[in-house]
A and B are shown apart, each in its own frame.
Chain A
Amino acid sequence: MHSTNDGSSNGMLSGLEQASQSAGRLGGAQKALHDRIASGQQSMDERTHQASVAFRRRKLKVWGARLAIAVIIIGGWQLFTAMGWVDKFFYAQPSGIWNRLWDYFQNGTEFGSYPDQIKTTMQEALYGFLIGTGVGIVMGVALGLNRFLAEVLDPFIKVVNAIPRIVLGSIFIVAFGIGLTPKVLLAAVLVFFIVFFNAFQGVREVDRNVLNNAKVLGASRWHVIRHVIMPSAMTWILASLHSAFGFAIVGAVVGEVLGAQQGLGLLIKSAQGNFDPYGVFANMFVIAALVLIVEFVIERVERRLMAWRPKVQSEAVLV
C-alpha cells in the first residue's frame, strides 16, 4: 500500500523535474518558476507524509474498536454471570473457562495429557484434510475435463451431496471401530465435496481466449492442462481450502463425539455428560484457535501461489 503511494508521488515528482528542466531552457522568469516548483515539491512530500499518518491512525482506530468489542463481550459475559443475571451453571464464566484451560494444561485430562488430545484431533483433521483435498482436486479436474463423465455422474453427485454427511460418521464408526480411521474418513468426506465442486467449476471457468492462445502456440493436451487449466482452477481450489479446514475439524470432532478414546471431541462429550459447560467452552475455544492458526498458514501459502493476481482494489484505495 505504501509502495503504491510512493510510486504515484514519484511519478509526479519526475514530472515536476521535467517541468523544471524546460523552465531552465525558457530562461525568462526562471527563478520564480523554480521557486513555485520547489514549494510544490515540498507540499507533495507533505501530502505523502499526511497520507501515511492518516493511514496509520485509521489502522489504530480499527484495532481499538476491535479490542473494545472483545472487552465488551467477554467482560459482559463475566459481569452478567458474576451478578447472577445469567446462570453460570449453564453458560459458564470466562474466568472459569480460563481456569479450566489452565487446569487442562497443568494436570491433564481424564484421557491423558491435554497436548495429546490436541494432537489426536489435529492429526485426524489434517489427514482428512489432505485426503479430501487430494481426491477432490483429482476428481474435480477429471470431471471438469470430461463432459460425458460429468453428465453421467451428475445425479449421483447431487444425491450424495444432499445426504447429511455427518451421519456417515456413525457408519464409519461401526465399520472401522473407534480408532483414527473413521474420523479421518469423515473429515475427508466433508472436505472432499467443497474442494471437488470448486475444482470442477475452476476447470469450467477457464478463459476461452487464454485457452485458444495456448492452443495456437502449439500446446499439447497435457500442456494445456498443466499451463492453463490447472493454474486457472487453482484460484478456485485455494479459495475453497479456507473453509475446508474448518470442515475437517468438524469431521474429526463429530467423529470423536460419536465414539473415541482420545481427542477434543471426546472431552466435549465427557464434559457434556458431567454437566460441565466450562469443559465444553474451553475445548471449543481451543478448536477455534487451531482452525484460525491453520487458516493463517493456508492464507500465507495462497498468497505465495497467487502472486500473479492483481491486488484487491480496496487495499490500494485505503491510501
Chain B
Amino acid sequence: MAGTAIEIRDVTKRFLTPKGEVFTAIRDVTFAVEPGRFCAVVGPTGCGKSTTLSLVSGLDRPSEGSVWVGGKEVDGITDGVGFMFQADALLPWKTVLQNVALGLIFRKVAKKEAVERARDWIRRVGLAGFEDRYPHQLSGGMRKRVAMAAAWITEPRVLLMDEPFGALDVQTKAIMSNELMQLWEGSRPSVLFITHDLEEAIALADRVVVMTSSPGAVKQVFDIDIPRPRGSVQEIRFGSRFLELHHEIWATLRDEVERAYARTAGV
C-alpha cells in the first residue's frame, strides 16, 4: 500500500435503473496514482469516468473491489481530498469569500484565520476585489477560479477533478490550465483529472489512462515523459514528443470513441 496515493483495485460499480435493470458503469477497474503525480483519465462519454471519481471521493461505494487513498480504504467521505466538479457547485447564496472559506469553516478553523487564508487564496487565483460578489455575478471562468481556490485551500493531498474546465471557452480553458499547473507545481498533490480532451490530458498529466465504454474498463495506460516544467499549455502541443504521444494514444482512443458513437447513433 505504501507508495501510492490512490489505488483502485478490481472495482466494479453497478446501478439499478429506475426500470429495475442492472446497469454496470465500470467493471474490474484497476489502476494507481503515485504521490505527487498527475494522472488523467480519458474516454468516450458514458465510460464511467465520473463514477470512478465519486468512488475515490467516497460519495459512492463500489459494488465490488476496493478503493484506497493514502493507504486507507475509502469508507465514507475521504479525508484530505479536494474535488472540482464539472458543473457549477459553488453555494450560490454565499459570497466568493464565504465559498472559498467553506472548507476551513467545516474543518472548524477559527473564523478569523479562515477568512484570512481565504483572502490569500482569492488573491492567488487573481480574484482580489471580488470577495463580496455572489457566484451569479461572476463569469464562468471566474467561478472556476473560485472553485479552484475552494478546493485548494484545505491543502488536499489528493485532488479530484471532473472535467473542471469542460464548460469553458478554449482561451479561458488554456489560461485556467496554466494556472492549475502553477498551483500544482507549487504543492504537488496527487491529481486524478478526468477529461474527454486528449490534448488537455497529455499536456497536463504524467500518466494517461484510456478507458473503454459501457461498461467502463481500463484499456491502456500511457506514461507521458514530456519533461517538467512544460511551460504554457498552448505551446506544449506543438512539441514533437507531444505529437508522437498524441498519435499513439489517439489510435487507442479512437476505436472506443467510434464504438460509443456507433452505439448512440445506431439506436
Contacts and interface: CB of A to CB of B under 8 A. Distances in A.
A231 B77 contact: no
A-side interface mostly: helix
Nearest to A224: B106
A217 B87 contact: no
B-side interface mostly: loop
Given A209-B89, A231-B91, A231-B93, A214 B102 contact: yes
B115 to A, nearest CB: 16
Contacts of B81: 216
B134 A308 contact: yes
Given A217-B154, A309-B136, A227 B85 contact: no
B83 interface: yes
B11 interface: no
A176 to B, nearest CB: 40
B19 interface: no
Interface in B66-98: 77, 79, 81-83, 85, 87-95
B91 to A, nearest CB: 6
B136 A209 contact: no
Contacts of A212: 54, 59, 83, 85, 89
B57 A216 contact: yes
B136 A213 contact: no
Contacts of A219: 102, 106
Contacts of A231: 91, 93
B195 to A, nearest CB: 18
A74 to B, nearest CB: 43
A234 B92 CA distance: 13
A215 B79 CA distance: 11
Interface string A79-99: 000000000000000000000
A216 B77 contact: yes
Which size class do B's interface residues fall under?
A: 20 to 34
Contacts of A215: 59, 77
A218 B92 contact: no
A210 B106 contact: no
A226 to B, nearest CB: 10
B44 interface: no
Contacts of B89: 207, 209-210, 212-213
Contacts of A309: 92, 136
Contact of A218 (B85, B93, B154): B154
Contacts of A217: 83, 102-103, 106, 150, 154
B112 interface: no
A2 interface: no
A300 B111 CA distance: 30
B102 to A, nearest CB: 6
B107 interface: yes
Interface string B101-125: 0110111000000000000000000
Interface residues of A, number: 22
Nearest to A213: B89
Nearest to A231: B93
B91 A218 contact: no
A73 interface: no
Contacts of A227: 91, 94, 102
A203 interface: no
Interface string A216-252: 1111100100011001101000000000000000000
A216 B82 contact: yes
Nearest to B76: A215
A307 B134 contact: yes
Interface in B221-236: none
Interface string A192-208: 00000000000000010
Contacts of B79: 218
Contacts of A228: 91
A152 to B, nearest CB: 22
A28 interface: no
A182 to B, nearest CB: 39
A220 B106 CA distance: 7
A27 interface: no
B136 A218 contact: no
B59 A218 contact: no
Contacts of A207: 89
A11 interface: no
A213 B93 contact: no
Contacts of A307: 134
* CB-based closest 9 A-B pairs: A213-B89, A310-B136, A218-B106, A216-B83, A209-B89, A231-B93, A217-B103, A308-B93, A308-B134
Given A216-B82, A308-B135, 9 more contacts: A213-B89, A214-B102, A217-B83, A217-B102, A218-B79, A219-B102, A234-B93, A308-B94, A310-B136
8 contacts: A207-B89, A213-B89, A216-B57, A217-B103, A219-B106, A232-B93, A308-B136, A310-B136
